[in-house]
Amino acid sequence: MAFLRKYGVFCFLVIVVAIIGILHHVTPSEQLFRHELYRRSGYFPIVMGGLLYGLRGGLTIAFLSLIAFIPHLRHLYHFDPDIYRGDLTEIVLYLSAGGLVGFIAGKEKKLREKYRLLSKKLEKSYKKLHEETALLIEVEEQLRASQKFSALGRLAASLAHEIKKPLAGIRGASEILLDDFPPGHPKREVVEILLKETGRLGMTVDEVLRFARDQQQPINGKPA
Is 224 a residue whose pLDDT tops 50? Answer: no
Distance CA 100, CA 112 (A): 18
181: left (phi over 0), alpha (psi -120 to 50) or beta: beta
Q: Is 219 helix (H, G, I), strand (E, B) or coil?
A: strand
Q: Is the pLDDT of residue 28 over 60?
A: yes
Q: What is the CATH number of domain 146-215?
A: 1.10.287
Domain edges within the chain: 2-129, 146-215
pLDDT at 1: 56
Q: Give the tens place of pLDDT for each residue, 67-116.
A: 877 766 666 666 556 655 666 677 778 888 888 988 898 888 888 888 88
pLDDT at 222: 45
C-alpha closest to that of 89 among 68, 73, 67, 71: 73
Q: What is the pLDDT of residues 128-185, one digit of tens each?
A: 888 888 888 888 888 887 777 777 777 777 777 777 777 777 777 777 777 777 777 7
Mean pLDDT over 192-210 rounds to 79
pLDDT value of residue 192: 79
Of 224, 223, 168, the residue nearest 199 (C-alpha): 168
